[in-house]
Amino acid sequence: MSLKHAILVMLENEPGTGYDLAQRFKSGIGHFWNAKHQQIYLELKKLHDDKWVEFEVEAQSEKPDKKVYHITRAGQKALKEWLRKPVKPPRVNDALLVKVFGGQPSDAPMLVAELDEHITRYRARLAEYGQMEQSYFGQDEVTRRRYRLPYLTLRRGIRYVRGTLEWLEEARALLADNGIPSQPLLAARSHSKRGKG
């Protein structure tokens, strides 16, 4: 299990509340590790039992009291130990691939439609990552050096999304070459707001 360790890494970066961590899991680290707030609160409790984190309560009126967690010495030690033992590569369970594998030729139109959705989504994500990379390059050299490792994870994201997109387009082409008039997708323009019903 490494949600524990993902949380430790985040708290090492900067102390925070459970809510706060949940937000952070929606960006940055969230691109390669997912967690919902319910699970985070449970893990924080376990981490506290292990004495790997502590918290201070910040009283608030009108809202539940904040618990601002920070990593302990013991937590840092545990993190270091975890870093030195190899992890196994993540298992992938990708339902889309199951569909493609199992689809009949007659399912092609359906699959093409679904691939298009994924293409749109991944194009948006690639644009987003591109932005992030630009803003990294906007930093001075010292800062860039400092954030070298997190930057590498962004590179991973970019490569992954790019590769995924290339495959989706390849798959689409091959499937559409079935008799479906190849109606090309709109170029990634993003931000086209649709009005509410």
Partner DNA sequence: ATAGCCATGTAACCAGTTACATGATTGA
Partner DNA sequence: TCAATCATGTAACTGGTTACATGGCTAT
**Partner from DNA, a second copy, none binding residue 23, C-beta < 5-8 Å depending on class:** DNA
Q: Does 65 bind a second copy (CB under 8 A)?
A: no
Q: Which residue has the tokens 């298992």?
A: 91
Residues within window 86-115 making contact with DNA, judged by CB under 7 A:
91, 93
Q: Which residues contact 43 (CB under 8 A, 6 or more apart)?
A: 3, 4, 7, 35
Range 123-152, binding a second copy (CB under 8 A): 148-150, 152
Q: Is 41 left (phi over 0), alpha (psi -120 to 50) or beta?
A: alpha
Cβ contact 25:33 at 8 Å: yes
Question: Residue 114 binds what, of DNA, a second copy, none (CB under 5 to 8 Å, by partner type)?
Answer: a second copy
Least distance between DNA and beta carbon 41 (Å): 5
SS3 of 150-183: HHHHHHHHHHHHHHHHHHHHHHHHHHHCCCCCCC
Site residues for DNA, 46-85, by CB under 7 A, read 60, 62-67
74 binds a second copy (CB under 8 A): no
| Per CB under 7 A, 121 contacts DNA | no
Rounded Cα–Cα distance for residues 7 and 24 (Å)? 10
Paired tokens of 81:
């130990």
Residue of the chain from 45, 163, 188, 190 that contacts a second copy (CB under 8 A): 163
Q: Which residues lie near DNA (CB under 7 A)?
A: 1, 3, 17-20, 23, 34-39, 41-42, 44-45, 60, 62-67, 91, 93
